[in-house]
Amino acid sequence: MHTIFHRTKLAQEMTRQLLQPGVLDEGLRSGLFISGLRRTGKTTFLQADLVPALEGAGALVIYVDLWSNTQTHPATLVRGAIRRTLAELQSPAGAVVQKLQKLRNAELAVAGFKFGFKVESVGAEGGATLAEALTEVVDQAKCDLVLIVDEVQQAITSEEGKQMLLALKAARDGINPRPGTPGHFIFVGTGSHRALVSELTARRNQAFAGATSIPYPVLDADYVRYLLERLRAEGAAALPSLEVATQAFRMLGARPEEMLRALRELRSLMPPGGDPDQFLPVIAGTLRSTAADVGLRNHFFTP
């Protein structure tokens, strides 16, 4: 487990755009899709920074990672996460209700939420639709509800997944345009496959056509500074300058794991008295070309 460099400011800015959008950000209520390359810290940012920031601002957040279990169907994973939250909301001692109570000075019903449908069958045939269930959540919780789906492109690989996205779109369109709605339903999707993720908002036949699609803001010099400071605090000698280290980090695709590997190699390979600012770029260049090699091999030989 790496120690996390928190991106509180970025998370708060996104939270503001999502929960209290200005005129130009109102489009985010139609859905926000964030795409970024593999291993650049998307999931870490969502879990360590964005979810806490959204909750801190009073929203109810449901997070689901469609890669968390590749044996289980994406639609099942999303329904499961929603049902779990609904079940927790019914229990007054549940963590979700406690959190909401704390934020809202205990004005919520102490007895937990009462739903006019069976939680176990939400989204299934004969049960309440996702739209009906999520509308009740917003109306009883009287707050914004944010659903974050990590690796969202996985949903469009099957018909059932597409149906699920359509059901979520129906929830959005049922909840948000109501005058005086006590909260909004906000969908955030992230993924590593840029083309597929942007297809989700760009293609007319997709459920979330017209929603906003942005590139994931990669880690940069602030992260590298934090890393160098931690190494310095550990007593590491011969560290590269911030400038050279940041260039190396960018060369490595802004991937923390690759950067740590490069710094480990620097420590073990550089002769005493060597100049880290000269060695690090060479190491980063070699690592990058090895990675490119592996990438090509995977590209050509993946069945």
Ligand X SMILES: Nc1ncnc2c1ncn2[C@@H]1O[C@H](COP(=O)(O)OP(=O)(O)OP(=O)(O)O)[C@@H](O)[C@H]1O
Residues at the contact surface with Mg ion, assessed by CB under 5 A? 42-43
33: β partners: 189, 213
Residue closest to 47 by CA, chosen among 148, 194, 152, 186: 148
CB of 65 to Mg ion, least distance (A): 7
The interface region with ligand X, picked from 37-45, 90-98, 127-135, 167-175 by CB under 6 A, is: 37-45
Separation of CA 260 from chain center: 23
CB of 292 to Mg ion, least distance (A): 21
What is the number of alpha carbons within 13 Å of residue 183 lying toward its C-beta? 21
For the window 211-230, what string marks contact with ligand X as x by the rule CB under 6 A?
Answer: --------x-----------
CB of 3 to ligand X, least distance (A): 7
Establish if 264 lies at the interface with ligand X (CB under 6 A): no
Q: Specify the pairing of strand 212-215 against strand 60-65.
A: unpaired
The interface region with ligand X, picked from 35-43, 131-139, 246-254, 276-284 by CB under 6 A, is: 35-43
CB of 61 to ligand X, least distance (A): 17
Binds ligand X by CB under 6 A, chosen from 16, 39, 250, 288: 39
Helix boundaries (H) for the chain: 8-19, 42-44, 51-56, 74-90, 95-103, 130-141, 159-175, 194-202, 221-233, 242-251, 256-269, 276-301
Establish if 198 lies at the interface with ligand X (CB under 6 A): no
What residues contact residue 294 under an 8 Å CB cut-off, 6+ apart? none
Establish if 35 lies at the interface with ligand X (CB under 6 A): no
Q: Which residues bind ligand X (CB under 6 A)?
A: 2, 4-5, 36, 38-44, 192, 219, 256-257
